[in-house]
Chains A and B, each alone.
Chain A
Amino acid sequence: MLRFVIRRLVVAFLVALTVLSLSFALTRLAGDLAVAIAGPNATAADVDAVRLAYGLDRPVVAQFADWAVRAAQGDFGQSFFFKEKVATLIADRLPITGTLGLTGIVIALAVALPLGILAAVKQNTWIDRAATSIALFGQAMPTFWFGLILMIVFGLKLGWLPVSGTGSWQHYVMPGVVLAFTAIPALMRLTRTGMIEVLASDYIRTARAKGLRARTVVLRHALRNAAIPVVSIAAVQLGFMLGGSVVIEQVFALHGVGYLAWESISKNDYPVVQAVVLVLACIYVLLTLFADLLNAFLDPRLRTA
């Protein structure tokens, strides 16, 4: 078990290091960063001034080493546009994205688990087919469009929910539902397949044979084992949700980390962009690490892997 944990920690650390280098390399794609920062109307003298002011005249390796050491300590430098520390900007907006992600994953699990269990228990009936169809539609739905349609229906026509902003819990309902739909297909399919496999196993037959109620067999005996992969995939999906929330935050004008990234991308605010990429990637790495460890804890067979 200890070897497994150490191995996973080392891999997570190496992944974080690689992403750190990638997010630095990302901003060098544009060619000359100084020209990009100075803007289209800048003179050669302006560009030189920018180059000096931001330390872009030094060797790339030195710039990288400097940035990496600071970033590892949580110092991402100064934003070009907001005149604030990048770390502060992100810390201010992380709670909104976090709330959105958690709302999304809770809704996703609340829909996918019961639906998956029902589909497995009532296999090959209309319930199964309906659940499978929901998964298919969820997979094909363009998230931003789904958000706009919900805004028209529940915001404008019915007037039940606020259309944009972050004032109250109601503001998170529509974006949460939209985000949930990105994870529901995978979670539902996994629950369904897992339940079908477990329900066909010997210990379930034993449980049934000794006369336990159907509900007890399904919920207490079968679900426990079928839920193991679902738990870890849910953590991974939460990571994907946080990374993908930029589209939904833009649609619903939620000023979270994704919105910040979108603003910074359109304003060429490179320090913010690379910091957001790095922070979201690290959150994903931590979530998958957590999922793997949880998995090993729940299912002893995996510890040797």
Chain B
Amino acid sequence: MTDDALRATIALPHRLRHGGFVVGAAIVGFVIVTALVGPMLVPHDPFAQDLVNRLVPPMWTDGGSAGHVLGTDQVGRDYLARLVYGARISLLIGLSTVLVSGLIGTTLGVAGGFFGGRVDDVVTFVITCRLAVPLILVALAVVSLVGSSFLVVVVTLGLLLWERFAVVARATSSQIRNLDYVAAARAAGCSRGYILLREVLPNILNPLIVVATLEMALAILLEAALSFLGLGVPPPLPSWGLMIAEARDYMFFQAWVIVIPGLALLVFVLGINLLGDGLRDLLAPESRA
């Protein structure tokens, strides 16, 4: 069996893969549109409390009203308005974290992969150390010590979630450094910086985009977990994780208060992962596995 044939067999059924890509793109697109224009369309203010109408169930259940489609929370804030606003937070956290971690990871990985030798030993060691650090615990401790805010969460997660970028950038750029076109650029007298930016970086971009989707999904889940534990995005901002934490005391009476934000989180992260898996196939058919 040739390598190509073997890889083709390992690849998942094509229809499912592309179906997955379409579904993922649709979910992510929907969340982006919701985050951009949603808060303007929902008639309620996500921060306005209404103590008379607390814990109103969703419209389709007994006691629900058309005024609050998804009901209200424990202090009477409209759940749909908070959910929609929460999409903004998750999206922003995901994108900004990936920017920070992508920059760190790619720089380290390319340095190690392209220069090799001592530099590579150091980069590998730094990656090993990062993996040994218990992720959530350190993130919790840092946010607690520095004080919780949107920016602190982004920087903390960005400083912790770069290792997959580094691993992939290192592996791909160490392959590229021995290829003919890099040798040609060297022979033509191009500077190191030029070669790195114009020859190496564009050619490792595709796998890095796939890593970026995975890391974005992870960052969103971690932010939700941090906010759930009370050390993420500070209240009254409606982070989905925080919504679940605040509703936790009422979940045994009215399960929907945690089901709704949790489902939003699950579907969004699933969409990002589907998109990433689809991109992997479309951008880099040689690495299907």
Q: B-contacting residues of A (Cβ < 8 Å)?
A: 11, 14-16, 18-19, 22, 26-27, 29-30, 36, 123-124, 128-129, 132, 136-137, 139-145, 148-149, 151-152, 156, 193, 196-197, 200, 240, 242-244, 246-247, 250, 258, 261-262, 265-266, 268, 273, 276-277, 280-281, 284-285, 288
Contact = CB atoms under 8 A, between A and B. Distances in A.
Interface in B249-289: 251-252, 255, 258-259, 262, 265-267, 269-270, 273-274, 277, 289
Given A124-B13, A145-B244, A262-B140, A136 B270 contact: yes
A197 B137 contact: no
Contacts of A277: 133-134, 137-138, 141
Majority SS at the chain A contact face: helix
A18 B127 CA distance: 12
B146 interface: yes
Q: What's the dominant secondary structure at chain B's contact region?
A: helix
B145 interface: yes
A11 B279 CA distance: 36
B129 interface: yes
Interface of B: 1, 6, 9-10, 12-13, 16, 125, 128-129, 131-138, 140-142, 144-146, 217, 221, 224-225, 228-231, 241, 244, 248, 251-252, 255, 258-259, 262, 265-267, 269-270, 273-274, 277, 289
A285 B225 CA distance: 25
A19 B132 contact: yes
A28 to B, nearest CB: 9
B80 to A, nearest CB: 19
Nearest to A261: B137
Given A148-B248, A243-B135, A265-B140, A193 B128 contact: no
Contacts of A136: 270, 273-274, 277
Nearest to B218: A139
Contacts of A123: 9
A256 to B, nearest CB: 12
20 contacts: A11-B125, A15-B132, A18-B129, A22-B133, A132-B12, A132-B16, A137-B266, A140-B270, A142-B241, A142-B266, A144-B228, A148-B244, A148-B248, A152-B251, A196-B9, A246-B140, A246-B229, A247-B225, A280-B134, A281-B134
A247 B141 contact: no
A182 B144 CA distance: 25
B137 A142 contact: no
A281 B133 contact: yes
A241 B262 CA distance: 21
Contacts of B12: 128, 132
Contacts of A193: 10, 289
Contacts of A30: 145-146
A18 B251 CA distance: 43
A265 B133 contact: no
A148 B135 CA distance: 22
A280 B258 contact: no
Given A26-B141, A30-B146, A140 B269 contact: yes
Contacts of A268: 144
Which residue, of B16, B144, B251, has the highest number of chain A Cβ atoms within 10 A? Answer: B144
A191 B12 CA distance: 14
B136 A247 contact: yes
Nearest to A243: B134
B255 A26 contact: no
Contacts of A261: 137, 140-141
B121 to A, nearest CB: 10
Contact of A265 (B135, B231, B265): B231
A196 B10 contact: yes
Contact of B132 (A152, A197, A247, A284): A284
